[in-house]
A = this chain, B = another copy of it.
Amino acid sequence: MEFHYPNGRKYTPVKNDSKVEKQEKKWSYGKRGMTLEEDINESNQYYLERGIAAIHKKPTPVQIVQVDYPRRSAAVIKEAYFKQASTTDYNGVYKGKYIDFEAKETQNTSSFPFKNFHPHQIQHMKAVLQQKGICFVLLRFSATDEVYLIDAEDLLFFWGRMENGGRKSMTKSEISERGHLIKLGFQPRIDYIKIIDYVYDFI
């Protein structure tokens, strides 16, 4: 009898072992949070093209170790590592205001675990709020495809509860009470600017 150790995914027997490995690896890197990211990028593109807002995803931070410079062709990075981001992933400008947010998704259905956030990102959110920037997170529950906007102040409230020994997550009901459910559409797919208009005061 073969043992198939659990990794959270359905086991599918395949003959070619090396292929399985390759696919698994691709999945673990490429798929995590990809759908939400794609939806947000598409929405940002929509906003940009229509002059609604100029918001971009920051490039993935990479620590470059070795670069080759072949003659007559582009420099090739031969060794590099993924670095921990020191800020959130998205920022930009809307009606003169600084907009800053992080996007996260979970397979959980009843709560959003804080292990999705790095202390660096929390620190950055505090700095943005101190500078009176608009700061929030977009949380996606993938099982139900619900996306909530939660203001950073609220997130920090629950993060503080954890730091004081409380639960290591926000419950779904806390999120639906404090957060704002974003109706998903076709274009833009995640119209978070509409929620910003509603949630935040603009001069």
Dominant SS among interface residues on chain A: mixed
Interface residues on A, range: 35 or more
Answer whether A132 and B96 are a contact pair too, CB < 8 Å, given A54-B124, A69-B25: yes
A183 and B87 alpha carbons, distance in the complex (Å): 29
A128 and B117 alpha carbons, distance in the complex (Å): 29
- Contact flags (1/0) for A90-101 with B, using CB distance below 8 Å? 011111111110
Give the nearest-CB partner of A83 in chain B: B59
Of the residues B25, B75, B131, B203, contact of A53 by C-beta under 8 Å: B131
Spot the interface stretch: A2-10, A60-68, A104-112, A173-181: A60-68
A127 and B69 alpha carbons, distance in the complex (Å): 34
CB of B60 within 8 A of CB of A58, answer no
CB of A133 within 8 A of CB of B54, answer yes
A187 and B82 alpha carbons, distance in the complex (Å): 31
A124 and B59 alpha carbons, distance in the complex (Å): 16
A75 and B60 alpha carbons, distance in the complex (Å): 14
The 21 sampled A-B contact pairs (Cβ below 8 Å) are A51-B130, A54-B127, A54-B128, A59-B62, A59-B83, A59-B85, A62-B62, A62-B64, A62-B77, A75-B81, A75-B82, A76-B79, A76-B81, A77-B77, A77-B79, A91-B91, A92-B131, A95-B132, A96-B97, A96-B98, A96-B132
